[in-house]
Homo-oligomer: A and B are copies of this chain.
């Protein structure tokens, strides 16, 4: 019976882009019998009620996890300790407790002390998202063809690991397993530092006295606007990511700055061959990403060309 629900009662805590997408996809694909939601914000809880994307909405995480055989925390990276402390005594024995945090060593360090020995803790990170946030931003297809990275302890229960893997696969994702520390380094280069430099270039442009704000905005199609997308991501989430993945982010940032100084020097001294060599190599990287289906080959991301969008 491959299409039977995988969990009886799934509790999702933190109903933003990711949490609300899990609720929508889990219902659309029949993965659980009952969906329970909770969020620290009363406004968000009310909105989840209006959207009708959960069967039950609870005011506190402690109430929400009661009787759940699966609990997924989708909160900012700085909030895991407090939520784990609140739910720890209320978790059902044998439940699986997971999360969707973007930094894994920190999630483990924050949550593990508060989780009873009789639950299965399997940290997870779906590498998916958009620049929008909140319960209205989610959609059931968000995880399709994306990767979800698990960072379980070596002694994790194999049966529960397989069940959670099946859950993410039926959400549309492919699952890979690695250590929390390696995850944090991989994400520092593929996500965290890219976000930081996007935020930074948008800030630099905003601050330049010699170029007006209006000019930056009008002429942004020359490349700048690409960076504004990820620089429009949720500020709380991203502040917490940098504070909680400090070591790996600083390490990769050091490499980025070193490489940038090399290019800066090549420009200053007119060493065109060094620039040309790099600019040729980087084309191949994009080609590979397109080839494995993680990016569109359409020009300009498939953005509309022609008449301005209505």
Question: Who on chain B is nearest to A306 by CB?
Answer: B141
Do B256 and A191 touch (CB < 8 A)?
A: no
User: In the complex, A130 Cα to B129 Cα: how many Å?
Assistant: 24
- Is A302 part of the contact surface with B, judged by Cβ < 8 Å? yes
A198-209 interface bits toward B, Cβ cutoff 8 Å, 1 = contact, 0 = none: 111111111110
Q: Can you report 11 A-B residue pairs in the complex whose CB atoms are below 8 A from each other?
A: A137-B299, A189-B204, A194-B222, A197-B260, A199-B279, A199-B282, A200-B278, A207-B255, A208-B252, A249-B267, A250-B267
In this complex, how many residues of chain A approach chain B with their Cβ under 8 Å: the count is 115
Question: Who on chain B is nearest to A128 by CB?
Answer: B221
The secondary structure that dominates the A interface is helix
Query: What is the CB-to-nearest-CB distance from A230 to chain B, in angstroms, rounded to a whole number?
Result: 5
Do A210 and B185 touch (CB < 8 A)?
A: yes
Query: What is the CB-to-nearest-CB distance from A185 to chain B, in angstroms, rounded to a whole number?
Result: 6
- Is A51 part of the contact surface with B, judged by Cβ < 8 Å? no
Query: Of the 9-residue stretches A37-45, A113-121, A235-243, which lies at the interface with chain B?
Result: A235-243
Do A294 and B259 touch (CB < 8 A)?
A: no
User: In the complex, A208 Cα to B218 Cα: how many Å?
Assistant: 36
Do A232 and B286 touch (CB < 8 A)?
A: yes
A171-205 interface with B by 8 A CB criterion:
176, 185-187, 189-205
- Knowing A288-B217, A300-B130 are in contact, say whether A145-B308 is a contact too (CB < 8 A): yes
Query: What is the CB-to-nearest-CB distance from A224 to chain B, in angstroms, rounded to a whole number?
Result: 4
Candidate in A142, A194, A233, A257 with the most chain B CB atoms within 10 angstroms: A194
Do A204 and B302 touch (CB < 8 A)?
A: no
A11-36 interface bits toward B, Cβ cutoff 8 Å, 1 = contact, 0 = none: 00000000000000000000000000
A259-297 interface bits toward B, Cβ cutoff 8 Å, 1 = contact, 0 = none: 110011001101010011011111101111100111111
User: In the complex, A225 Cα to B296 Cα: how many Å?
Assistant: 10
- Is A2 part of the contact surface with B, judged by Cβ < 8 Å? no
- Knowing A218-B176, A224-B189, A227-B194 are in contact, say whether A304-B302 is a contact too (CB < 8 A): yes
